[in-house]
Amino acid sequence: MSTDDLFIKDLPSAGVTHSPSAPPTELERRERRRSSRTSNGSMASLRAAPLVPQHKHIWVITGPAGCGKTSVAEYLHQAFSLPYLEGDTFHTPENVKKMAEGHPLTDADRWDWLILLREQSLQALHSSETPGVIVTCSALKKKYRDVIRIATYHDPTVLVHFVFLNASESLLMDRVRGRQGHYMKDYMVHSQFESLEAPQADETDVLSVEASGTSVEVQKLALAVVKKVMEKDAGVA
Ligand SMILES: Nc1ncnc2c1ncn2[C@@H]1O[C@H](COP(=O)(O)OP(=O)(O)OP(=O)(O)O)[C@@H](O)[C@H]1O
Ligand SMILES: O=C(O)[C@H](O)[C@@H](O)[C@H](O)[C@H](O)CO
């Protein structure tokens, strides 16, 4: 393989055009291989087959206030046509009032909320043919993520993934300060980082995404990691 091949393979496909004489990209090569297989009839039944994941996936978009959970979740919801649960809308009025008055939630305040998000995610998965569901949840501590992981215990067809949006406290302070009409104020961001237990390497269901870039950049990074897992599960990666 030449370095040209490597270079072209590594280019993002969006917005890239190829002249007829340019070497084929990996995608084009795959398409040609697929066409040549279907043209002799032996693989014809695969031609129109959609991606069929082997599991049902719960995609938990996580991180402290302001990291972009809602922005990323809405984008993935559109891109993959998956149902989306906004975690903030499942807090009790008491919890919202507490945060709005400047008091961080405690573990005790969060348990029922985490269990509810787990149950709602499972319900969304099982009440339709959807291959996945997206849910936003700060999931700041490992034990909170463990509560969501229980979703897989009684159903081996379900997989949980945490997309962790990683950015600095000062950046998130700025973002939350610029947001209008939300109960979570910028001075609460510090308490989110005090609670945060950033996922470590042994949490192998975590997909860490660099979240300091623009909304579009972060959305694309998140889409790429989710797509990779989906393709692997469907046996095409
Ligand atoms: N990558 C980004 N760059 C700049 N601004 C962003 C980015 N992502 C989100 N924002 C903006 O920052 C604010 C917080 O984003 P968003 O509501 O998506 O975060 P969140 O993690 O869901 O926050 P919360 O947990 O407080 O609901 C919003 O005003 C949003 O428009
Ligand atoms: O666990 C928590 O402390 C809460 O879920 C918060 O993360 C807020 O809901 C969110 O940040 C809204 O701004």
* Ordered DSSP codes for the chain: --HHHHHHHHS-STT----TTSPPPHHHHHHHHHHHHHHTSTTGGGTTPPP--SSEEEEEEE-STTSSHHHHHHHHHHHHT--EE-GGGGS-HHHHHHHHTT-PPPHHHHHHHHHHHHHHHHHHHHTSS-SEEEEE----SHHHHHHHHGGGTT-TTEEEEEEEEE--HHHHHHHHHH--S-SS-GGGHHHHHHH--PPPTT-TTEEEEE-SS-HHHHHHHHHHHHHHHHHHHTT--
Question: Is the pLDDT score of 78 beyond 60?
Answer: yes
Task: Please check the confidence at residue 58 and state whether its pLDDT lies above 60.
Answer: yes
Domain membership of residue 51 (yes or no) is no
Residues 16 and 90 in one domain: no
Q: What is the pTM of this model?
A: 0.82
Ligand at shortest distance from the CA of 98: 2
Asked if residue 205 is part of any domain, the answer here is yes
Residue 116 located in a structural domain: yes
CB 165 within 8 A of CB 67: yes
Q: Counting atoms of ligand 1 from 1, which one is nearest the CA of 184?
A: 26
The 10s digit of each residue's pLDDT in 193-229 is 999 999 999 999 999 999 999 999 999 999 999 999 9
State if residue 220 touches ligand 1 by the CB under 6 angstroms criterion: no
Residues 80 and 194 in one domain: yes
Instruction: Write down the pLDDT at residue 128.
Output: 87
Ligand nearest to the CA of 69: 1
Q: Are residue 149 and residue 217 in the same domain, yes or no?
A: yes
Q: Do 153 and 226 share a structural domain?
A: yes
Q: Is the ipTM of this complex over 0.95?
A: yes
Mutation choice for ligand 1 from 60, 67, 71, CB with most ligand atoms inside 8 A:
71
Determine the pLDDT at residue 161.
98
Asked whether the beta carbons of 66 and 189 are under 8 A apart, the reply is yes
- Is 14 contained in some domain? yes
Q: Using a 6 Å cutoff on CB, does residue 191 contact ligand 1? A: no
Range of the domain at 218: 56-233
> Which atom of ligand 1 is closest in space to residue 175's alpha carbon?
12
